[in-house]
């Protein structure tokens, strides 16, 4: 075949191959600034104490719930026992305070009713005593009047007897008339003496009635005082209720302290939060540790993802959900995944000291954006992947 005819054909073929290579290369972007990533679980103490045992070693595979570090629990066992005793004491005080409330309520109601009845009785008794005094005074006045009349009769009878005596001596009247005058005078004197005794009795009755009034007045005052005391019953009841509420608050406080003591005792056993591998172990037997002090780390075996830092110019066509092929440097094997998220800022903006570009000597630098790539499941059956391994992801952007 003529060579001149083959030359255009070769050129066209080469152009097609070159275009195909360009098209294929432009259909994906890759970066070697990428590594496997995962959530490393730091293991730290939550209480103060002395390390009693460390049953794991660096690089050991552990399951969630396995014991990693044990802190001496003796002090916390004592604190728990004290918290339990304090709670029992507070509960006893609460029961006593609660029992006082209905008892005080019943007693208060009974005392108020009794005091009100006593006040009424005392007032009635005083009225009765006043009536008795009025009657005694009336009888005293009547006794005085009868005594005055009896004394007047006795005086007149005595005077008549004196005249009759002179007349009988002169035989001007009969002896019988004289004896009748003597009898009358004697009877009038006896009546006067009887009325004197009645007057004394009436005076005594007045005194007794006055004393009864005084006593009734004292009872009224006492009943009023008792009623006043009884009216404070509602306040006493409120005080009892407040005391019961305070006792309930103390119980709640002691219950919280008991729960904290139980938690502190549970914190003596530090366990693995997830399945993983022990690393960065610093805990040793006999070591004194405090809250927040990191003792080791547990790196999860599963749940790994890729953090790839792509140039901003490579993100033009990149979207969430695009397929990714990942080359692992340590194993030489390929993994697959998908773009899960594109970072919200460049890596420089996340740095401790973000760059300040408001200067006269600014030089444009291509920035990198972190992209999170989710690995497809069941690709590490041998468990050889580790956090921090270098990988080369290639994202298909077509």
Which CATH number covers residue 128? 1.10.287.620
Stated length of the chain: 398
195 falls within a domain: yes
Predicted pLDDT at 54: 95
What is the overall mean pLDDT for the chain? Answer: 82
Of 368, 182, 133, the closest CA to residue 173 belongs to 182
Q: Is the pLDDT of residue 35 over 80?
A: yes
> Which residue range(s) make up the domain with 44?
29-72+274-396
User: 225 with 302, same domain?
Assistant: no
Tell which wins on pLDDT, 78 or 213: 78
Instruction: Give the residue, 388 or 6, on which the prediction is more confident.
Output: 388
Q: How confident is the model at residue 244 (pLDDT cuts 50, 70, 90)?
A: confident
Cβ-Cβ contacts under 8 Å for 129 (sequence gap 6 or more)? 209, 212, 213, 215, 216
Looking at the fold, whether 43 and 123 belong to one and the same domain comes out as no
Which of 107-116, 163-172, 223-232, 380-389 ranks highest by mean pLDDT?
380-389
Tell me which residue of 206, 215, 219, 220 sits closest to 133, measured CA to CA: 206
Q: Closest Cα to residue 348, out of 333, 362, 368? A: 368
Shared domain check, 89 and 57: no
The answer on 153 and 37 residing in a single domain is no
What confidence score (pLDDT) does residue 198 get? 81
Q: Has residue 3 been placed in a domain?
A: no
Residue at 293 is within a domain: yes
pLDDT at res. 108: 66
**CATH number, domain with residue 42:** 2.40.30.170
Give 26's strand partners. none
Q: Are residues 229 and 99 in the same domain?
A: yes
The model's pLDDT over 270-328, given as tens digits with 9 standing for 90+, comes to 999 988 899 999 999 999 999 999 999 998 877 889 999 998 888 888 889 889 999 99
Query: Is residue 259 one of the residues assigned to a domain?
Result: no
Phi-psi region of 59 (alpha: psi -120 to 50; beta: other; left: phi over 0): left
Asked, for residue 255, whether it belongs to a domain, the answer is no
Q: What is the mean pLDDT of residues 43-59?
A: 94
Total domains present in the chain: 2
Residues 161, 65 share a domain: no
Does residue 61 belong to any structural domain of this protein? yes
Same domain, 45 and 92: no
């Amino acid at each position: 075949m003529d060579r001149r005819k083959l030359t255009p054909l070769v050129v066209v073929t080469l152009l097609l191959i070159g275009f195909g290579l360009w098209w294929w290369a432009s259909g994906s972007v890759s970066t070697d600034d990428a590594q496997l990533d995962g959530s490393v679980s730091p293991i730290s103490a939550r209480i103060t104490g002395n390390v009693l045992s460390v049953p794991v070693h660096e690089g050991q595979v552990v399951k969630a719930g396995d014991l990693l570090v044990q802190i001496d629990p003796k002090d916390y066992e004592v604190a728990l026992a004290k918290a339990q005793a304090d709670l029992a004491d507070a509960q006893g005080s609460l029961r006593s305070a609660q029992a006082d409330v209905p008892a005080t309520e019943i007693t208060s109601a009974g005392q108020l009713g009794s005091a009100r009845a006593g006040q009424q009785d005392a007032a009635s008794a005083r009225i009765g005593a006043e009536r008795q005094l009025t009657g005694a005074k009336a009888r005293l006045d009547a006794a005085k009047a009868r005594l005055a009349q009896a004394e007047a009769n006795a005086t007149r009878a005595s005077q008549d007897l004196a005249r009759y005596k002179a007349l009988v001596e002169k035989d001007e009247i009969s002896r019988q008339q004289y004896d009748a005058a003597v009898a009358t005078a004697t009877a009038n004197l006896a009546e006067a003496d009887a009325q004197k005794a009645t007057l004394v009795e009436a005076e005594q009755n007045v005194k007794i009635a006055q004393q009864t009034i005084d006593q009734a007045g004292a009872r009224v005052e006492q009943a009023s005082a008792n009623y006043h005391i009884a009216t404070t019953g509602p306040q006493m009841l409120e005080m009892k209720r407040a005391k019961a509420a305070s006792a309930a608050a103390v119980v709640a406080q002691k219950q919280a302290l008991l729960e904290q003591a139980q938690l502190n005792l549970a914190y003596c056993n530090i366990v693995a939060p997830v399945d993983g591998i022990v690393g960065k172990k610093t805990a040793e037997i006999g070591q004194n540790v405090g809250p927040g002090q990191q003792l080791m780390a547990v790196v999860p075996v599963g749940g790994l993802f890729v953090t790839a830092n792509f140039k901003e110019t490579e993100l033009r066509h990149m979207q969430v959900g695009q397929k990714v092929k990942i080359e692992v440097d340590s194993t030489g094997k390929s993994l697959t995944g998908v773009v899960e998220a594109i970072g919200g800022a460049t890596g420089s903006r996340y740095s401790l000291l973000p760059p300040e570009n408001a200067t006269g000597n600014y030089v444009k630098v291509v920035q990198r954006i972190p992209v999170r790539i989710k690995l497809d499941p069941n690709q590490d059956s041998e468990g050889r992947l580790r956090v921090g391994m270098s990988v080369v992801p290639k994202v298909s952007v077509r």
